[in-house]
Amino acid sequence: MNSSPLFSPLALPNGTTLPNRLAKAATEESLAAQGQVPDHRLNTLYRRWAEGGAGLLITGNVMIAPDALSGPASVVLQEGADLAPFKLWAEAGRSGGGQFWMQINHPGRQTYKMLGEEAVSASDVAIEIPGMSKNFSPPRALTSAEVDRLIDRFATTAALAEAAGFSGVQIHAAHGYLINQFLSPLTNRRTDKWGGPLENRARFLFETVRAVRARVSKDFSVSVKLNSADFQKGGFDSDDATWVVRQLGDMSVDLVELSGGSYESPAMQGRPEDGTSTARREGYFVEFAKEIAAIAQMPVMVTGGIRRRQVAEDALVNKAGGIGVSVLGMATAMAYVPDLPNRWKAGQSLDIALPVVDWKNKRMAGLATMMLAYAQLDRLSRGKAPNPRMRPLFAFVRTQMKLKKMTKRYRRWRDA
């Protein structure tokens, strides 16, 4: 029997249990079928991960509204949806005996112009990315009534996820998406009850958590993905994150996952834009997550570049030798080695050497790195093995062509 703490069970506050401490963190799969629903490809992909030994699987973005997608091949789950394909997806994701949570999200201003939809946000602050800003729709500030309706949409999607057989949801409040846009003073310049001091900027998140919790059963897991910081000067910072986690302690949250960054400052890829170092090229947010774990009333999960067993095990212990984080999330590593938890459990050290794209343009290199990962997910969804030797330019061009095709399909669906 493997004695590593990585393979000890974790009891969550709602009374359910994760069979081990390893999670497949959310990934942007971009694999929705016609009608923005899951099909056999997502089922194949998640069955592969479920059989790979992770105690928790978290889907990539499932959007709460058909006009607000993070990409043209995002899954949408809204009122009136046919739950049959979602039930098959849930069955695949739970086939390994672990929990399977749906990440629910709204992109806010991080909406691509090519989709032809209006972008909304906390305020009318446009995205500023050198050479890429024109790819995003300028946002309009939401009215207070619209915020209330979006909170209800989050709760509806969560209730539908439970009805479909998922064992939990993760509310995405990180990476520059809509809830994070309300949390950050850089993007939230409102003067009403949704803006100003942190307690107002956090209101959208808190009301969403309460609304979701009220619509699902007690043993259905409710979690939050939160930035440790935006990694932009004047943005949401570690002190803000600490305060938010303390408040969530009174809201029946079963797990908080810590990450960081946004489209403008992709710290989740280890490339923050404010000059702040993410310290190591692996386990970017571990040290801060350990500090949060010391004060959190719920288990804490950390994601960000983890690919070695020793790094994962070290994260479970704090500097004083006490309990550190409770769950280790891996995304890119499990795109290349989908059965990584089982291999570690079998005693393999297995250091994952991820591809490095050394293009001179760092932003394009970052995109190519992501597209290499997308390409592995596409291969896994078709029952193929990952291809770590894939050329970055091939993956980049192929993914761009696919996104154009999916954009046309999405717009036809919206116009129907």
Task: Indicate which CATH number applies to the domain containing 97.
Answer: 3.20.20.70
Asked if 74 and 61 count as a contact pair (C-beta separation under 8 A), the reply is yes
The pLDDT of residue 251 is 97
Rounded CA-CA distance 59/42 in Å is 10
CA-nearest of 46, 70, 42 to 57 is 46
Q: What are phi and psi of 222, to 5 degrees?
A: -120, 120
Q: Which residues in the chain show pLDDT less than 70?
A: 1-2, 231, 261-262, 264-284, 318-323, 349-351
| Residue at 160 is within a domain | yes
Is 331 strand, coil or helix?
A: coil
| Residue at 407 is within a domain | no
| Residue at 405 is within a domain | no
Rounded CA-CA distance 329/278 in Å is 17
User: Could you read off the pLDDT of 365-404 as tens digits, one per residue?
Assistant: 878 888 899 999 999 999 999 998 899 889 889 988 999 9
User: Could you read off the pLDDT of 303-323 as tens digits, one per residue?
Assistant: 877 888 888 888 887 655 566
The pLDDT of residue 285 is 76
Angstrom CA distances, 379 to 369, 384, 385, stand at: 16, 5, 6
Number of domains comprising the chain: 1
Q: What is the distance, to the nearest Å, from the Cα of residue 411 to the centroid of all Cα atoms in its chain?
A: 25
The pLDDT of residue 147 is 98
| Residue at 9 is within a domain | yes
CA-nearest of 183, 168, 176 to 223 is 168
Q: What's the chain's average pLDDT?
A: 90
The owner of tokens 């409102």 is 190
CA-nearest of 282, 25, 313, 30 to 175 is 25
The pLDDT of residue 266 is 57
| Residue at 221 is within a domain | yes
Instruction: Give the CA-trace dihedral at 110, 69, 366, 283, to 10 degrees.
Output: 90
The pLDDT of residue 280 is 44
Q: pTM for this one?
A: 0.93
User: Could you read off the pLDDT of 32-59 as tens digits, one per residue?
Assistant: 999 999 999 999 999 999 999 999 999 9
User: Could you read off the pLDDT of 140-152 as tens digits, one per residue?
Assistant: 999 999 999 999 9
Range of the domain at 280: 5-356
Rounded CA-CA distance 342/60 in Å is 22
What the block records as the tokens of 93 is: 């994701």
| Residue at 38 is within a domain | yes
